[in-house]
Structure 1
């Protein structure tokens, strides 16, 4: 009987190759009648039904195939049957198809099928997410969240804000609202992440996102980040009232940093010599350690920018200084003259200073003593002298040049 059934199955295969699907179906059915426990015959019939888009018939045949006792099947054949059923169900919906595909994987780990399941799962999740979107319900959830926010029940407010975002995920304002709530829960980093989401979602409501980010950065004393966010906010709308208020708050914060002084006891100890006496034993270089300020690490740059233009220095390091065992900064200045001016101000404020050896480069830098213009050749330097806007008009004798071996790039 088995040989006869195989012969009939071969006839079905021939008809299938010739795309004579009606004949193939007839022969495969005969083969199944002759040997109903051969899962390969069932799979062949299911394949024809799938090819001819008779998906319901395909699934029925696959279900019969999967009901065959395991003694008469192998894992691969059963997996193929379930895969065919899944493909057929996919035409009607993803959920049933995924069910068949997962059953198929339980019999045989096919990498292509795993990839297919991942793609379909993503499609299903996206479809479910979109089906959940409802701007009207989102607004209701936000309103409820606002009520809890006003009552200072921030945890309850967050639950409703989360639901509002799920209901309307493209509404950028919701992310800035949720960011404010995170700050009330002292989750500043999560609040900043929400602000960045708000900014990415749309260009129409980003000012709110930027301004909440500024508030968070001021709260965490990340002054440089606050500066970046606020600059963009003011570019978008220079007259925005909230942005201007934050600008004043940021300036006050910077000024409070610039005005920080060492403890009085430290000042009294250090005032045993004058600055002129100090530099006789400590020749000024462009590389310098400065310490003695009671500042957060992020504030050193802004303190220094209060006594020196930012294009005239490069902050190399802030933290524990080697050989000092105190918190301070390592700075590289554009010229020795600038380093001298900063060191005098720092000394007068009672700070500690240490000039460090600075490795020379192989590039000669020619610097104008009036505008600090830098060139890298004598020819360029002489050309500069003729156009220098700051040189005295009475005589060029006062123009001098300082030729130094410096580690600075010319675009410092």
Structure 2
């Protein structure tokens, strides 16, 4: 008991120096505490804290693991063991060893569950996932997988082609053309919603890739959404006004819009975005103004937010500009 009391005094002296950032002095007191009472893991936790502040992360990790072993031998409070494991995780993270950090955090969590440790695990999991994703990127392999997919696509083996396109995208996720290829495959498999999503990713990555806009238009035609398909073809024609495929698609969708205006209106009114625009008092006023004075449209289109809403109403077929 006498030794333990002396050890606690040394610990308190160490804490005073630690708060002053006199880490070498703090270390001396904590080591004396260990000598006086080698069964208490608290003092080793204190030493690990000093090593962490000194950026001696390898020594910190070793001290933490030694503290955990000592604590288990002497039936220490599980919270102290969790604290040592968490600090070992923090030190591992500092040296860029995120997988070891995750292991330490998970062990800490198994001793004592805290929201802070759960957050730390989530953070390192994101880093590990991104590291794995980045390490997997290989544009040369992506091109090989794309070519294999293209060969199978031509043979009509769309299911196997899709697997190769999936792998190509994993290998080079920033290549817009790969999403266009996969969208074509999804279309053949009648998975129009997935094809549309790929087209949107494609044109987001490369807004000047005309084939992405044309393919988006075709998929929207297949989904019987002539208004949005017409808008996609318009984007393609902005890139190349003479593109025969885009021109033909635009003519077809324009014809579809005018041939069944009631169906078009019914579909548009079911769109939550359209409903929100029509409920907006300011937009209602603008639409009335445009009806009474067609020249007012030019002024309103200068406002990007209003122009976007007008474009949405044009796509839906609810308004037309002549």
Of residues 23, 33, 36, the one that matches 1:34 is 36
1:213 aligns with 2:200: no
Query: Contact conserved, 1:39 with 1:73, CA < 8 A, in 2?
Result: yes
- Written as runs of structure 1 = structure 2, the 5 A alignment for 1:3-152 is 3-67=5-69, 68-69=71-72, 72-92=75-95, 93-152=97-156
Alignment pair present for 1:231 and 2:234:
yes
Alpha-carbon spacing, 1:191–1:49, altered in 2? closer, same or farther (3 Å): same
Unaligned runs of 5+ in 1: 259-298, 304-314, 320-372, 376-412
Give the stretch that moved more between structures: 71-80 or 41-50. Answer: 71-80
> Which is further off, 55-64 or 232-241?
232-241
Separation in structure 2 between the aligned mates of residue 118 and residue 46 of structure 1, nearest angstrom: 24
Residue in structure 2 matched with residue 156 of structure 1 by the alignment: 160
**Deviation digits for residues 262-284 of structure 1 (CA, Å, limit 9, x no counterpart):** xxxxxxxxxxxxxxxxxxxxxxx
Deviation per CA, 1:79-106, whole angstroms, max 9, x where unpaired?
2111111111112221111211121122
Relative to structure 1, the CA distance from residue 9 to residue 133 in structure 2 (aligned partners, 3 Å threshold; closer, same or farther) is: same
Go from structure 1 to structure 2 and tell me whether the alpha carbon gap of 1:252 and 1:15 turns closer, same or farther (over 3 Å shift). closer
Corresponding pairs, count: 269
C-alpha distance in 1 between matches for 2:229 and 2:54: 64
Question: Match of 1:221, SS?
Answer: coil
Relative to structure 1, the CA distance from residue 56 to residue 204 in structure 2 (aligned partners, 3 Å threshold; closer, same or farther) is same
Q: Do the aligned residues in 2 keep the contact of 1:37 with 1:72 (CA within 8 Å)?
A: no
Deviations 1:280-325 (A, max 9, x none): xxxxxxxxxxxxxxxxxxx44478xxxxxxxxxxx47899xxxxxx
Deviation at 1:32, TM superposition (A): 1.7
Other structure's SS at 1:19 match: coil
Alignment of structure 1 residues 333-344 onto 2, 5 Å: none
Runs of 4+ in 1 over 6 A off after TM superposition: 316-319
CA distance in 2, matches of 1:14, 1:210: 67
Distance, in Å, in 1 between the alignment partners of 2:192 and 2:105 is 43
Q: Which moved more, 1:5-14 or 1:43-52?
A: 5-14
Q: Which has the higher helix share?
A: 2
Q: Aligned-pair distance for 1:66? A: 1.3
Tell me the CA shift for residue 35 of structure 1.
Answer: 2.0
CA distance in 2, matches of 1:128, 1:188: 30
In 2: Cα distance, 1:70 partner to 1:300 partner: 80
Q: What value does the CA root-mean-square deviation take over the aligned residues? A: 2.5
- Matched ranges for 1:374-385 at <5 A: none
Mapping for residues 345-356 of structure 1, pairs under 5 Å:
none
- Structure 1 residues 251 and 16, CA, compared in 2 at 3 Å: closer, same or farther? closer
Give per-residue Cα distances to partners, 1:390-409, cap 9 Å, x unaligned.
xxxxxxxxxxxxxxxxxxxx
- Using the TM superposition, give the Cα deviation of residue 5 of structure 1 relative to its aligned residue in structure 2, in angstroms: 1.6
> Radius of gyration: which is bigger?
1
Matches within 5 A, 1:352-391: none
CA offset at residue 159 of structure 1?
0.5
In structure 2, distance between residues paired with 1:176 and 1:302: 30
Preserved contact between residue 211 and residue 233 of structure 1 (Cα < 8 Å): yes
Q: Supply the distance in 1 between the matched residues of 2:251 and 2:88 (Cα, whole angstroms).
A: 67
Q: Do the aligned partners of 1:38 and 1:72 also contact (CA within 8 Å) in 2?
A: no
